[in-house]
Amino acid sequence: MTRKLYVIFPVVIIVIAAVVITFALSATNNNDRYDNNMNPELPVNDSRQSVFTTGSPLLGSPNASIIMLEFGDYQCLMCERYFDNTEHNILRNYVESGKLKIIFMDFAFIGPDSILAAQSAHCAEDQGKYWQYHDELYSNWDGENTGWGSKRNLKNFATNIGLDNNNFNECLDSGKYASKVENNMIIGKQLEVTGTPTFFIFKSSSDMEKIIGNVEKIVGAQPYSTFSNVLDSMLN
């Protein structure tokens, strides 16, 4: 899948206060589960008090009125199913038309290769190819903790999409984005993400500093109709 038609912008940081999250849509059998006791020492704040997000470069027009945050793990089976079966329709019907912008958030919990894969995508971002590398990762998905996400393979994926190998390898080997990936995980916990993929969809003000209306949460590799119903209701 190519993303040449999509406009990519720098990392966006949003600070949102007093957010009411509507847990209207969920399907616990369609996502990879996360054990909340994995790192109990990490602070988990009430998501209704303060929510901020930082992740991938923005995918879509900055003028799109709707934002979708996608929390995912590159090793996640259901994330790969969403990528294969649903995402292309969302991109074609909502992103390309300027209605929706997307931010991908790392929720790398399945294994060490999940963390490396997340870091590698940000290394690709240094060369302006975050989303191309994102697609390359899911296109080469081969199970959970099977070794396909090894550092060696991640470097080969960089070659596949034409990245400068020396710069990419130095970035990945140095752990340049380790803290960023860890921070995204903390944000997911603050939002009470319990599995991947998890999506938060909401309308925002033009300056992306305020949420307009409620936030809709979709959990799991839901069909396209689940997303289109939510998006169309917000657009109307």
pLDDT in tens, 96-128: 999 999 999 999 999 999 999 999 999 999 999
Q: Are 18 and 164 in contact (CB under 8 A)?
A: no
pLDDT for 211: 76
Q: Write out pLDDT tens, residues 150-173.
A: 999 999 999 999 999 999 999 999
| Token code pair at residue 138 | 């899911």
Task: Report the C-alpha gap between 104 and 117 in whole angstroms.
Answer: 13
pLDDT for 116: 98
pLDDT for 43: 32
Q: Are 219 and 28 in contact (CB under 8 A)?
A: yes
CATH superfamily of 8-235: Glutaredoxin (3.40.30.10)
Strand-pair partners of 198 = 71, 219
pLDDT for 208: 63
pLDDT for 233: 95
pLDDT for 48: 32
Mean pLDDT by 10 residues, the chain (236 residues): 42 36 39 43 34 74 93 97 98 97 95 98 98 98 96 98 99 96 91 94 75 88 97 95
Domain ranges of the chain: 8-235
